[in-house]
Amino acid sequence: DTDILAAFRVTPQPGVPPEEAGAAVAAESSTGTWTTVWTDGLTSLDRYKGRCYHIEPVPGEENQYIAYVAYPLDLFEEGSVTNMFTSIVGNVFGFKALRALRLEDLRIPPAYIKTFQGPPHGIQVERDKLNKYGRPLLGCTIKPKLGLSAKNYGRAVYECLRGGL
């Protein structure tokens, strides 16, 4: 009830022990940085550190592990889904100690969930604004986000919108 629990599928780089990879994910997604910073001495980081409390091999998968990480609620701003996800997954996916990383599961304490106010109005208001009924409302991010010519980017956006807003 005092921590957000995350399960990451971790594939360490060759030569990196799974325990080190799990600890690196926990540190990098909470209080860790790639270098020593002078501000580390201004607070007790133990209160905010993510901790890899268990790691186990993925059955049938070579060099893949599930790393279980606990994040203290004090690490997160109440009522901010964006803050929570940015903290947990915002910077760890390009981490050099890992060949691959995927967030598999997230357990959020009910007391923390209650701090999320939800949208200011319901789906019906959104449907009325868009004049779209009887089907899911979807959005997308155009990929690649860089490197497309203006013509090809426009084509990709057109195809996305043609599918329906």
Q: Is the pLDDT of residue 141 over 80?
A: no
pLDDT, one tens digit per residue, over 83-138 is: 898 888 876 666 778 899 999 999 999 999 999 987 788 889 988 998 989 888 77
* 3-state SS, one letter per residue, for 96-139: CCEEEEEEEEEECCHHHHCCCCCCCCCHHHHHHHHCCCCCCCCC
Cis peptide preceding 144, ω within 30 of 0: yes
Task: Between 128 and 75, name the one with better pLDDT.
Answer: 128
Query: Is a pLDDT exceeding 80 seen at residue 51?
Result: yes
pTM: 0.70
Residue 58 predicted with pLDDT over 80: yes
pLDDT at 160 over 50: yes
pLDDT surpasses 70 at 39:
no
pLDDT of 29 above 60: yes
| Domains along the sequence of the chain with CATH | 2-112 (3.30.70.150), 121-161 (no CATH)
Mean pLDDT of the chain: 85
Give which of 1, 6, 13 is closest to 90, Cα–Cα: 6
Question: Who's near 143: CB < 8 A, 6+ residues apart?
Answer: none
pLDDT for 165 beyond 50:
no
